[in-house]
């Protein structure tokens, strides 16, 4: 069983402590952190209902400290609950899908690409986003999500107050205006990291690992093995999460648009891979998705390209080929290799790794903490610095 070690961030301990206190003296911190979570959430809800109030998370308050740690607000944010934004809010509408992920005014495309990949695996998604939550009977303004941190699953409890401007969500939102699971997931991840600003710029692979506890690997596309297409196909088939990006040579190139409609320094998710019969031969295709939900590839096999006219109607239907400005598009795999630079794969299980060779995994975990006056600090040349080995 995972242990509650001192390496767990104080932020999470505080959340657990408050949950334990709400559950009463008969609930230990261990129970609050693990098996008794439903009881703890129930206790928090009852506490709110008895007081006639909605839950307010004092560990991640609805103020500037939860938004920024170094910047000033560019607009006058107003924190609102979903019921104050729309008449009939829903946690999930018609199933959680990648189209529920639209980027707002925050540079966290790396996180959104990971969330889009997360929606492709229902079992993993249900672990991160418990789907028995709603705005119906028993609603108390409290939601929770799970992330893998320090070799254990941690529950992050939040209230549902979200940053808005002119009654619209400022950050991550769904294409369905009354759906809020993705916005609340982003808030929980912001709490895990300390603030929304902390989500500006990051690694898609790290977010994937936080969602799965999986093992990540990165490929330089130009140096990838000859069977790279098969590796990607196997990864997607076994539920692995896949992302891709285009390198930049300077900060000035960040989010610059190429003539073909791709964005440099931007995180994409890979949502599919397939082969299509085209003029008597098989063509390898790959399907990236831009979390912006609009800007798409304009080259071969894009939504409006002429190549689709030479494909049978049944093939087009099988590939769900539609002309939608949703950020998702097909590419010839050769074009993909020519334009993209990095691919990140988060393998959920050992058998999802790149080749068919037998692999043996061994894991040794040591949990501990720096002790002031004893083990804290670095070597004698840097006594004031803590160094992790």
Among all residues, which ones are annotated catalytic? 109, 266, 290
DSSP label at 110? H
Contact 63, 76 (CB under 8 A): no
Q: Is the dihedral of CA 162, 116, 126, 88 positive or negative?
A: positive
Contact 327, 289 (CB under 8 A): yes
Give the Cβ contact number of residue 318 at 10 Å: 12
Distances (CA, A) of 3 to 19, 30, 34, 324, 367: 18, 9, 10, 47, 8
Distance CA 187, CA 53 (A): 21
DSSP 363-377: ---------TTTT-S
DSSP label at 60? S
C-alpha 317: how far from its chain's center?
A: 29
Alpha helices (H) along the chain: 10-23, 29-33, 37-51, 64-67, 82-85, 109-118, 122-128, 181-193, 204-212, 228-237, 313-318, 333-339
Length of the chain: 389
Select from 248, 108, 260, 99 the least CA-distant residue to 181: 99
């Amino acid at each position: 069983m995972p242990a509650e070690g001192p390496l767990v961030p104080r932020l999470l301990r505080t959340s657990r402590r408050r949950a334990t206190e709400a559950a009463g003296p008969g609930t230990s911190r261990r129970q609050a952190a693990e098996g008794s979570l439903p009881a703890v959430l129930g206790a928090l809800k009852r506490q709110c209902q008895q007081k006639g109030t909605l839950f307010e998370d004092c560990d991640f308050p609805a103020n500037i400290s939860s938004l920024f740690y170094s910047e000033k607000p560019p607009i006058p944010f107003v924190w609102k609950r979903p019921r104050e934004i729309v008449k009939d809010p829903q946690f999930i509408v018609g199933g959680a899908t990648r189209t529920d992920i639209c980027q707002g005014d925050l540079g966290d495309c790396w996180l959104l690409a990971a969330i889009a990949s997360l929606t492709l695996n229902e079992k993993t998604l249900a672990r991160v986003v418990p789907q028995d939550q709603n705005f119906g009977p028993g609603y108390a303004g409290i939601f929770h999500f799970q992330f893998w941190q320090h070799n254990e699953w941690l529950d992050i409890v939040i209230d549902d107050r979200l940053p808005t401007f002119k009654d619209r969500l400022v950050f991550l939102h769904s294409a369905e205006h009354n759906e809020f699971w993705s916005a609340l997931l982003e808030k929980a991840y912001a709490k895990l990291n300390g603030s929304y600003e902390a989500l500006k710029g990051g690694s898609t692979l790290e977010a994937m690992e936080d969602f799965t506890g999986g093992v990540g690997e990165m490929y330089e596309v130009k140096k990838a093995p000859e069977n790279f297409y098969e590796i990607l196909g196997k990864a997607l088939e076994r539920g692995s999460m896949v992302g891709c990006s285009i390198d930049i040579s300077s900060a000035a190139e960040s989010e610059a648009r190429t003539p073909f409609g791709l964005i440099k320094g931007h995180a994409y998710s890979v949502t599919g891979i397939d082969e299509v019969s085209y003029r008597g031969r098989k063509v390898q295709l790959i399907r990236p998705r831009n979390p912006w939900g609009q800007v798409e590839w304009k080259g071969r096999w894009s939504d409006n390209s002429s190549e689709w006219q030479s494909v049978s109607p049944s093939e087009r239907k099988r590939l769900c080929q539609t002309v939608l400005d949703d950020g998702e598009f097909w590419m010839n795999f050769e074009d993909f290799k020519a334009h993209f630079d990095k691919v990140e794969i988060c393998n959920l299980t050992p058998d999802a790794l790149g080749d068919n060779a037998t692999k043996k995994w061994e894991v040794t975990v040591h949990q501990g903490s720096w002790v002031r006056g004893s083990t804290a600090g670095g070597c004698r040349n840097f006594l004031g610095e803590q160094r992790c080995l």
